[in-house]
């Protein structure tokens, strides 16, 4: 059985997902796309043998679409995901599930009312082989009891439209999800610590920033987010346990040895670093759908991540620690 996918938003990651789903993933094809940039949508549709539709709803309600990928800007996700639930179509929604915790709860309420899962959120790091090694070492006790983690999230540069809060909602939201997933606990408090700003960051972006995430079980995670580091894309993670440490370094594609030096390349951006990971994420989504199963990061994970990111933005404004208050987790997500 081939899953016919509709894709909403054919920008950077949406177009990549169309390529993956139409030519690399086993068991899927792309039949319809929509983007407000009509020329872009038509070009991407043509590359996949799909049709460019006139609206997001036309894609979602298309009888020739079995499942939907949402890769539009984050502030549109809630409305588009709700339309997928109404149409009873499984949906892989790129992060964030919604830009406010309130909107995430509307989505959860709608999904819970149907009594089953439709939504997977695009927290692709859970599918990355390097992160899986870290997760296994935490789960099987290889490093004893996990106590602390140190994470780094650096982008070479960001566009002018990027803001200080986006460092939390767009970038650190990945570390928030990874923290909850690795430790299997909710984050109860977050603090953003001001640092000396880089002279190369735009005046409206406080960069770099340090974020502290405190877990329900007492563990603490530090995240350095630096979105104008200049030299490339650098994502790292180290978990400190009671008897050992497990580290995920920034993987390198090539090593250049010459003139008595050994030099490693740094990935240019998330497309390079996580290219294979997105493919695994989509393949597992499609394989699940072919057996009628929706798994992966849930709407609850999307809600919890957005709620923590909101608190991080509040801490960024106030400079004070901000407690995270989550609603009770519905049984669907236990």
Ligand X SMILES: O=C1[C@@H](O)[C@H](O)[C@@H](O)[C@H](O)[C@H]1O
Ligand Y SMILES: NC(=O)C1=CN([C@@H]2O[C@H](COP(=O)(O)OP(=O)(O)OC[C@H]3O[C@@H](n4cnc5c(N)ncnc54)[C@H](O)[C@@H]3O)[C@@H](O)[C@H]2O)C=CC1
Shortest Cβ 55–ligand Y spacing (Å): 8
In whole angstroms, what separates CA 107 from the centre of its chain?
17
The answer to whether residue 80 forms part of the interface with ligand X (CB under 6 A) is no
Look at residues 33, 25, 71 and name the one whose alpha carbon lies nearest to residue 290: 25
Residues 6+ apart with CB under 8 A from 221: 148, 149, 150, 151, 175, 179, 212, 213, 215
d(CA 106, CA 95) in angstroms, rounded, equals 16
Adjacent-strand bridge partners of 238: 150, 247
The answer to whether residue 306 forms part of the interface with ligand Y (CB under 6 A) is no
User: Which option in ligand X, ligand Y, none does residue 267 bind, with CB closer than 5 to 8 A by kind?
Assistant: none
Residues 140-179 that bind ligand X (CB under 6 A): 155, 170-171, 174
Residues 6+ apart with CB under 8 A from 328: none
Among 90, 122, 208, 302, binds ligand Y (CB under 6 A): 122
Interface with ligand X (CB under 6 A), residue total 5
Shortest Cβ 37–ligand Y spacing (Å): 4
The answer to whether residue 177 forms part of the interface with ligand Y (CB under 6 A) is no
Shortest Cβ 158–ligand X spacing (Å): 7
The answer to whether residue 94 forms part of the interface with ligand Y (CB under 6 A) is yes
Shortest Cβ 155–ligand X spacing (Å): 5
Interface with ligand Y (CB under 6 A), residue total 25
CA atoms within 13 A on the CB side of 184: 8
DSSP for 137-148, please give it.
HHHTTTTSSEEE
Which contiguous run of DSSP H or E holds residue 235? strand 234-241
The answer to whether residue 270 forms part of the interface with ligand X (CB under 6 A) is yes
Cis peptide bond prior to 263, omega within 30° of 0? no
User: Which option in ligand X, ligand Y, none does residue 71 bind, with CB closer than 5 to 8 A by kind?
Assistant: ligand Y
Interface residues toward ligand Y, by CB under 6 A:
8-14, 34-37, 40, 56, 71-74, 76, 94-95, 122, 124, 170, 270, 274
Interface residues toward ligand X, by CB under 6 A:
155, 170-171, 174, 270
């Amino acid at each position: 059985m081939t899953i016919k996918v509709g894709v909403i938003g054919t920008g950077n990651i949406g177009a990549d997902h169309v390529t993956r789903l139409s030519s690399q993933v086993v068991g899927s094809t792309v039949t319809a796309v929509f983007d407000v940039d009509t020329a872009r949508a038509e070009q991407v549709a043509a590359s996949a043998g799909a049709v460019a539709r006139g609206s997001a709803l036309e894609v979602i309600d298309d009888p020739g679409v079995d499942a939907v990928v949402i890769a539009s800007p984050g502030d549109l996700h809630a409305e588009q995901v709700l339309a997928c639930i109404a149409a009873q179509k499984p949906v892989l929604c790129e992060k964030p599930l919604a830009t406010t915790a309130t909107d995430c709860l509307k989505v959860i309420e709608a999904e819970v009312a149907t009594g089953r899962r439709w939504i997977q959120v695009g927290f692709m790091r859970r599918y990355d082989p390097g992160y899986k090694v870290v997760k296994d070492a935490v789960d099987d006790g290889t490093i004893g009891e996990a106590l602390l983690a140190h994470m780094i999230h650096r982008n070479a540069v960001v566009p002018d439209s990027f803001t200080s809060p986006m460092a939390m909602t767009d970038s650190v939201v990945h570390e928030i999800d990874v923290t909850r997933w690795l430790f299997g606990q909710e984050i109860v408090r977050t603090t953003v610590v001001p640092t000396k700003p880089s002279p190369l960051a735009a005046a409206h972006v406080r960069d770099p920033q340090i974020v502290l995430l405190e877990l329900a079980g007492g563990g603490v995670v530090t995240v350095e987010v630096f979105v104008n580091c200049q030299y490339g894309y650098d994502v790292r993670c180290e978990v400190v346990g009671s008897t050992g440490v497990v580290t995920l370094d920034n993987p390198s594609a090539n090593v250049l040895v010459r003139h008595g030096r050994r030099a490693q390349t740094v990935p240019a951006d998330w497309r390079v670093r996580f290219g294979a990971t997105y493919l695994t994420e989509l393949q597992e989504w499609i394989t699940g759908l072919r057996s009628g199963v929706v798994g992966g990061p849930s709407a609850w994970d999307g809600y919890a991540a957005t709620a923590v990111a909101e608190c991080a933005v509040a801490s960024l404004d106030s400079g004070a620690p901000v407690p995270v208050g989550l609603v009770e987790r519905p049984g669907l997500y236990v």
